[in-house]
Chain A
Amino acid sequence: MTGWDVLAQQLAGAAQLGVIYALIAVGFTLYFGVLNVIQFSHGDIVTVGAFAALTVAAATGFVPLVVVAAMALTGLVGVVFERAAVRPTRASPPLITLLATLAAGMAIREAIRLFYPLGSQVHRFPALFPPTPIHLGGVLLRASGLWIAGIGLGTIVATAVLVERTSLGRAIRATAQDREAAQMMGVDLSLVLDATFFIASALAAVAGILYGAYYNTVTFDMGIVAGVIGFSAAVVGGLGNVYGAVVGGFLFALLETLSAAFLPAGSENADVFAFVIVILFLVLRPTGILGEKATQRV
């Protein structure tokens, strides 16, 4: 392996991670854009998605069905979550909503641990995509890696189309810009809230599935780290901006991977380096790379 091969191998890893982080970050951005809340248990929704896929995959090996069923189930969990933890606290200060989501996330995590069979153990995630090796020079890619990147990117594009080009997307964007005005124009706020949580949670399910496919394992507490990283990616990209979240996701993965590979003692401190960048962004450019425009959100 030459130096370039090592770099290419690193980039291949970072690309797959980036797409997963981006999917999670888009969820954070949707919540923030529409509701002005930080849904701190979004990581646990990712876990729900992974375990939903695990359950469906045990019954059928038909991958599209696994993905769609997991998305639908997780989307519904998201809607229930919103009605139970977010909607009742909407009139309260944002801090209360934040705490409510944090607590609900803990409840989800522990529920998976307690009620999923052998929930406290690491579960092996089924190989949904073929691991066929593809050699490019000294770099080893797997077909599964291409699937991960492809499905992730496809989902992100579909989300962008949904938000930009459909009437539901228009309602979501209108609510994000000015809730009262949107309501006066006949936007059903309740429907928009439900839809936002459904979409963000379904995206989290895709992230959970890709996460499982990438690491081959899932655990009930995998959402903690995934959530923090997704949130950081959303902040770096510009909270409230879908494209910013995507950029943030890839940037975060790149930082993590390259610092682990090439900085001295980088391996021990990969997360430290990555989060230092987040702090720098918060201090120097609090609106993130693409910045949330005051007039246009989501």
Chain B
Amino acid sequence: MSVRRILGVVIVGMVLAAVSTSGRMVPGMAEAAAAKPTVKIAFIGPLTGSNASLGLGGENSFKLALMQRNEDPQTKYRYEGVYLDDQCQPQAGVQAALKAGSDPDVIAAVAHYCSVVAIATVDTYHRLGLPAMVWGAVLPAVTYGNTYVEITRVNGTQIQQNATAARFDANTIHRKTFACLYDTTDYGRGHFQYFSEFAKKNGLQIVYSAGVAPDRQDFSAELARIKELHPQVVWFGGLSAEGARIRNQMAQIGLTALFQGTSGIKSEEYIKAAGPNAEGTLAFLEGAPIEQLPGGAAFLAAYRKAGFTNPPEAYGPFAYVAANLVVRAIEAVGPDRAKVADYLKHKIKNVPSIIGPVTFDDHGQNVLATVTPYVVQDGTWVPWGQSEYARGKRTLP
């Protein structure tokens, strides 16, 4: 036998071995599976690309929810996750939505971190009649731009976030002048639109604004212009990777203004990438701090115990809650897409969860009452109220 043939045989053997082990079941699992019918739920998020960290945090949290539900002997069904990657790109997102929607075994989807993807896929879910609960995208139009029964959203919107942010800037930390950078996707533009609206209402002044392509690496040109204008705050509407790059380049050219972002940069990833420059950065996230909510600490402990290598990130808890709500609907009305969609849209009122009670309004939007400001202190995101900055022990730039 030639070397090539031997290699070929070895590879085929390895593939066969892998296939056979992956299909094998632990005895207990087989019995449980036989006892309960299986229902599939899709998880869709950015599992590759520069937002993969957020996507993996959501995926793990979703997995954890299904694991916990499957361990519960009371559930009527065994839940199986179908994991699809939207790459944070509309085209890939629509393909993933189509794939999930055209599989009749998939009863619902917990979908999308990126607003650009969520806004592109809502019509697909509606057309295929697949109930989809958004777990991370914050563009208001995802829920408020349609009346589809299939679409619900467990996290908040840019409107809520920026209303709080502008009020906080004016009344709590007393800043007046802002230079705004935002990525040129619907996400970044949306944030900028709402921030400037609320900034005006609160008497804040935007002295410079520029949109930047989301894959832009170098911001030194914009930052040098900003430095010349001496604003008190550099505000950024965009995601972690760009946010950290901007923060680092601010330090490089000696721009010492306060750096404030949106929920898009509230991630472990941002802190890691910005390193010591992250100190004193502000961001806003819907809901109360998870550690303070009933079940929040238990979620974090279970997440750690499950041995995921990636942190849950800011929106993991939302994916976890979304998975639980979908399971709740299926348990209540059975694995029927139309019934599940109707249940999710109309029956979720004041349901307790680790992000606080969930209530969907007429548009399927969770009416989260609170948005929490966070500040980076010693390498972690600390809720503003508990930070040394709020107590006057440290001062923001």
CA distance A133 to B224 in the complex (A): 15
On chain B, the residues within 8 Å of A110 by CB distance are 48
Are the CB atoms of B222 and A267 closer together than 8 Å? yes
Instruction: Flag if B254 contacts A120 (CB, 8 Å).
Output: no
Q: Which residues of B contact A217 (CB under 8 A)?
A: 241, 244-245, 248, 273-274
A216 to B211, CA, bound (A): 22
Most buried by A among B213, B274, B309: B213
A225 within 8 A of B: yes
Distance A123 CA – B253 CA, assembled complex (angstroms): 21
| Nearest neighbor of B53 in chain A, beta-carbon distance | A121
Within 8 Å of chain B (Cβ to Cβ): is A172? no
The minimal Cβ–Cβ distance linking A57 to chain B, given in whole angstroms, is 14
Residues 191-229 of chain B, each 1 if its beta carbon lies under 8 Å from chain A, else 0? 000000000000000000011110111101110110110
Do A215 and B245 touch across chains, with their CB atoms under 8 A apart? yes
Across-interface contacts of A142 in B (CB, < 8 A): 252
Contacts of A224 in B (CB 8 A): 215
Interchain CB contact under 8 A, A268 and B249: no
Q: How far is the CA of A260 from the CA of B225 in the complex (A)?
A: 10
Instruction: Say yes or no for B272: interface residue by CB 8 A criterion.
Output: yes
Q: Could you say which residues of chain A place their CB within 8 Å of the CB of B211?
A: 265, 267-268
Given the known A-B contacts A217-B245, A219-B241, A221-B50, are A261 and B273 also in contact in the complex, defined by CB atoms under 8 Å? Answer: no
Q: Identify which of B210, B248, B253, B269 contacts A215 (C-beta below 8 A).
A: B248
With A121-B269, A122-B240 as known contacts, state yes or no: A133 contacts B254, CB within 8 Å: yes
Segment at the interface with B among A6-14, A60-68, A243-251 = A6-14
Q: Is the CB of B272 within 8 A of A123?
A: yes
Determine if A6 and B50 form an interchain contact, defined as CB atoms under 8 angstroms apart.
Answer: no
Residue from B181, B212, B217, B254 with most neighbouring chain A CB atoms (10 Å): B217
Contacts of A284 in B (CB 8 A): none
- Inter-chain contact A9/B224, CB cutoff 8 Å: yes
Task: For B217, give its contact among A117, A118, A140, A225 (CB under 8 Å).
Answer: A225
Is residue A258 contacting chain B, with contact meaning CB distance below 8 A?
yes
How would you classify the secondary structure of chain A's contact residues: helix, strand, loop or mixed? helix
Does B212 contact A124, Cβ atoms closer than 8 Å? Answer: no
Q: Decide if A122 touches B241 in the complex (CB within 8 Å).
A: yes
- B380 sits at the interface (CB 8 A): no
Contact residue among A140, A219, A258, A268 (Cβ-Cβ distance under 8 Å from B210): A268
Q: A121 touching B224 by the CB < 8 A rule?
A: no
B244 touches A13 (CB 8 A): no
Is the CB–CB distance between A122 and B272 below 8 Å? Answer: yes
- The 0/1 profile, CB within 8 Å of B marked 1, for residues 92-132 of chain A is 00000000000000000010010001101111100000010
Chain A hits for B55, CB < 8 A: 120
Are A10 and B52 in contact, CB atoms less than 8 angstroms apart? no
B326 within 8 A of A: no
B310 within 8 A of partner (CB)? yes
Q: In the complex, what residues of B have CB within 8 A of residue A131's CB? A: 252
Alpha-carbon distance between A6 and B273 when the two chains are bound, in angstroms: 27
Question: Does A113 contact B52, Cβ atoms closer than 8 Å?
Answer: yes
B contacts with A: majority SS: helix
CB distance from B254 to the nearest CB of A (A): 4
Shortest CB distance A158–B (Å): 26
A270 within 8 A of B: yes
Bound complex: CA A137 to CA B217 (Å): 27
Residue among B53, B221, B252 having the largest count of chain A Cβ atoms under 10 Å: B221
CB < 8 Å neighbour of B213 from A17, A261, A268: A268
Q: Tell me how far the C-beta of A277 lies from the nearest C-beta in chain B, rounded to whole angstroms.
A: 16
Structural contact, A225 and B224, CB atoms closer than 8 A: no
Does the CB pair B48–A113 fall under 8 Å? yes
The verdict on A257 contacting chain B, using a C-beta distance below 8 Å, is yes
Contact of B184 with A by CB under 8 A: yes
User: Does the CB pair B220–A13 fall under 8 Å?
Assistant: yes
CA distance A260 to B210 in the complex (A): 9
Q: Which A residues contact B (CB, under 8 angstroms)?
A: 1, 5-6, 9-10, 13, 17, 110, 113, 117-118, 120-124, 131, 133, 140, 142, 145, 215-217, 219, 221-222, 224-226, 256-258, 260-261, 265, 267-268, 270-271
B48 touches A120 (CB 8 A): yes
Question: Does B49 have its Cβ within 8 Å of any Cβ on chain A?
Answer: yes
Contact A120 B310 (CB under 8 A): yes
Residue of A nearest to B268 (CB): A121
- Given contacts A122-B241, A215-B245, A267-B212, is CB(A6)–CB(B225) below 8 Å? yes
Kindly state the separation between the CA atoms of A120 and B224 in the bound complex, as whole angstroms.
30
29 interchain pairs (CB within 8 A)?
A: A1-B227, A5-B228, A6-B225, A10-B224, A17-B218, A117-B309, A120-B310, A121-B52, A121-B268, A121-B269, A121-B272, A122-B50, A122-B241, A131-B252, A140-B254, A145-B252, A215-B218, A216-B252, A216-B273, A217-B274, A219-B50, A222-B217, A256-B221, A260-B222, A265-B211, A267-B181, A267-B212, A268-B211, A271-B213
Closest B residue to A17 by beta carbon equals B218
The answer to whether the Cβ of B275 comes within 8 Å of any Cβ in the partner chain is: yes
A146 vs B241: C-alpha distance when bound (angstroms) = 25
Residues of A within 8 A of B270 (CB): 122
- Flag whether B111 is at the interface (Cβ < 8 A): no
C-alpha gap A123/B218 in the complex (Å): 17
Q: Which residues of A contact B272 (CB under 8 A)?
A: 121-124
A257 CA to B224 CA, complexed, in Å: 11
Q: Which of B222, B224, B244, B269 has the most CB of A within 10 A?
A: B224
- Given A13-B224, A216-B245, A256-B218, 13 more contacts at CB 8 Å? A9-B224, A13-B218, A120-B55, A120-B56, A121-B273, A142-B252, A145-B252, A215-B217, A216-B275, A225-B215, A257-B220, A261-B225, A270-B221
Most buried by A among B184, B216, B270: B216
**Which residues of A are found within 8 Å of B216, using beta-carbon distances?**
270-271
Closest chain A residue, CB of each to CB of B277: A216
Inter-subunit contact B273/A122 (CB<8 Å): yes
Q: How many whole Å from B48's CB to the nearest CB in chain A? A: 6
Chain A residues within 8 Å of B181, by CB: 267
A49, B109: Cα distance in complex, Å: 39
Partner of B253, one of A140, A222, A256, A261: A140
